Structure 1
Amino acid sequence: MSVGIEEVWKNFAEIKLYNTKGKETEILRWEKHIYPYFRGKTIAEINNLEVSKFTRYLEEKTLSPQTRAHILGLLRRVILQSIKWEIYSGPPPHFEMPKFDNKSLRYLTIEEADLLFAELKKRSILWHDFSLLALNTACRSGELLKLDCGSVDTVNKCLYILDSKNSKTRVVPLNKVAFSVIKKYLTKNNENRVFTYKGKNIDSVSPTFRRCVSAVGLNENISDRRYRVTFHTLRHTAASWMIQEGVPLLVVCRLLGHCSLKTTMRYAHLDPTQRELAINVIEMATKKIFSSNY
């Protein structure tokens, strides 16, 4: 027994995507890529051969490896869910997921940051201040956009970041720069968001930031997205500067709210002093053991 892919998707969207952050994106992936290809098919008909053909079809559309992985991942989840719901009893097809390295490798130098913030200050004080806070807290843009006044502790000078990417709450200390910025935007109503524009909530980073990046030439002649400056680059910059100044990886990991140290390890190469320190520790121990030979 097998049901049609349309029926399974309808239940999947209603039950599994209900009130999820990426619902609209998943629906768009389904309607644009998956449904047109598998329209009219049952789950049983989507076998290993059909999945391989669909994978090739996505490759021919010149989609990025990450986009193809998201589309294939959604199809796989829908099929596996039909098995969990016991409306399909056959084996799931095999999915060969695209391999990719989509991690941003870009961070700003002091000189580049100086150029960018000077341009931001000329164009928009709001986005200059918002960006300055992001750099000095290493917070994600979404975390700061959703930040309400009640989550700012002016006594202990810290932020309580709620509903962040890993669904945990973390405490972010405020340095002098960050504290002076955020004080400008606090209101007496704790339910109000810290950052608003003309009395309305802001849901995304303004194009002003992108225009400032272009104006100072930070993305000039750079096509690889891993090396292009985006708003998220401010978070990478904060982490990179901390590592370069010798802040331990574990401390940076906790400040960034990473689930594991593995994610923070992308910055490890920026701290040559730790390698030198490790080697020197071995040298000192060796001298103690073989003191007569040195």
Structure 2
Amino acid sequence: MAWTQQLPSGNWRGLYRGPDGKPRNAGTFAHQKRALAEATNAEHEADKPGWRDPRAGARKWGEWYEEWRAVREDADKLSQTDKSLLKNHIIPAWQDVALASITRFDVRAWAAKLGASKEDGGAGLSESTVKRVVAVFSGSLSAAIDKEILATNPCFRLGLEPGETDVVRFFSRKRVAKMLKKLKDRPEDRAMLAIMVGCGLRWGEMAGLRPERVDLKRRMLRVSHVRKQNGKVKKYPKGRKIRDVPIPEWVVAEIKPFVKEGREFVFMRTNSSNWRRDVWSHLDTGGRIHDLRHTYASWLLQSGVEIAKVSKLMGHSSIRVTERYAHLALMPMEEVDAAMYDPRRVA
């Protein structure tokens, strides 16, 4: 049963007991009748299924994050990439915000700012990175639901607007040749670059490539494992799609010295950040390591390979992902010329 308590100020505090039997405060009011009414209403709400303590949602996200992080790290579910996203984008934005006050509007506005260019005051992140940042943040809020702190997740089915997916950076063959030439005294790094651009492998797929998955005679490799930045191995690549990829002859020549029987992995490097610092930054590419994979797709399409085949070779979840490269395919000039013949000839 609800009750009231008079304070030294003369105001009245409305009190009630929650489902756990602990006394809870329904608020402070000038009149005893109002305090009792509010406490009675709160007690009634507390008896309903799915009730959550309203005070729990007042916890700041940063406080909840410390508890959530401990659970994630104990379960080895927080990758180095996720930790970086938390440190650089999530914690600065949400650490002082109460959990219950986070709205879908706030999350949308934050996501838009992450994707906006730096000139416009944003973070300049790619569409896929923005979605990953929001996914990590959403994971923390879903955990708050499991903990019965929140009733809903404001990130659920947010339906973020797509970013500029038609801008794909790739390197010319001449540019790649210059990169390889600069690495002539670093054969393993040269081979790593060659296989990423010549076979379209993601960094983790390249790092997780095993010698027994490489058939130099048939010039085929199988992408079946991914090695994380910390050296641990996942059994499946992104999208859980194991795939076979042809190896161009020039790539075979580069990787052959490193495909050795008894060796656990073809390449020893696992940390892309270190490779970016030690190798990639000295090549003055003006792009990202992942642009080597974009280059692979671009060269295939520019050479007339069907987009469905490119999608399969890259291990995309669907052909829609590959369609971001569609504008790079060679235009059928003969067909266009035939259709758009000179109208002056008719006159």
TM-score in same-fold range (> 0.5): yes
The yes-or-no answer on 1:170 pairing with 2:231 is: no
Deviation at 1:248, TM superposition (A): 0.9
Higher relative contact order structure (alpha carbons within 8 Å, sequence separation ≥ 6): 1
2:261 is equivalent to residue 203 of structure 1: no
**How many residues are aligned here?**
262
The whole-number CA distance in structure 1 between the counterparts of 2:321 and 2:68 is 34
TM-score under structure 1 normalisation? 0.70
- Tell me the alpha carbon deviations over residues 124-177 of structure 1, each in whole angstroms, 9 at most, x when there is no partner: 222222222222212122211221212223453311112322222111122322
Bigger-Rg structure (1/2): 2
One of 195, 213, 226 as aligned partner of 2:283: 213
Name the one with the larger helix percent: 1
Q: Which runs of 5+ in 1 are unaligned?
A: 220-228, 284-294
CA distance in 2, matches of 1:78, 1:273: 47
Q: Is the 8 A contact 2:108 2:160 kept in 1?
A: no
Q: Does the CA contact (< 8 Å) of 2:301 and 2:330 recur in 1?
A: no
User: In the TM superposition, what are the counterparts of 1:2-17 in structure 2 within 5 Å?
Assistant: 2=53, 3=56, 4=59, 5=61, 6-7=63-64, 10-11=67-68, 14-15=71-72
SS in structure 2 of the partner of residue 64 of structure 1: coil
- Alpha-carbon separation, structure 2, partners of 1:245 and 1:54: 40
* Matching residue within 81, 88, 102 for 1:46: 102
Query: Counterpart of 1:287?
Result: none
Corresponding position of 2:181: 118
TM-score (ref. length: structure 2): 0.60
- Superposed, 1:261-272 pairs within 5 Å as 261-272=319-330
Give the SS at the match of 2:240.
coil
Give deviations 1:73-113, integer Å, cap 9, x for gaps.
Answer: 43333223433x26146444476857533675222223222
Distance 2:270 2:73 in 1: 28
Q: Secondary structure at the match of 1:19?
A: coil
CA offsets 1:201-220 (integer angstroms, 9 cap, x no match)? 54323535434432xxx53x
Tell me the residue number matched to 2:207: 145
Whichever structure has more strand as a proportion of its residues is 2
Q: Give the gaps of 5 or more residues in structure 2.
A: 1-51, 225-235, 341-347
Using the alignment, how far apart are the partners of 2:111 and 2:219 within structure 1? 51
Do the aligned partners of 1:149 and 1:186 also contact (CA within 8 Å) in 2?
A: yes
Instruction: Find the residue that maps to 2:178 and give its secondary structure.
Output: helix
On the 8 A contact 1:246/1:274 being kept in 2, the answer is no
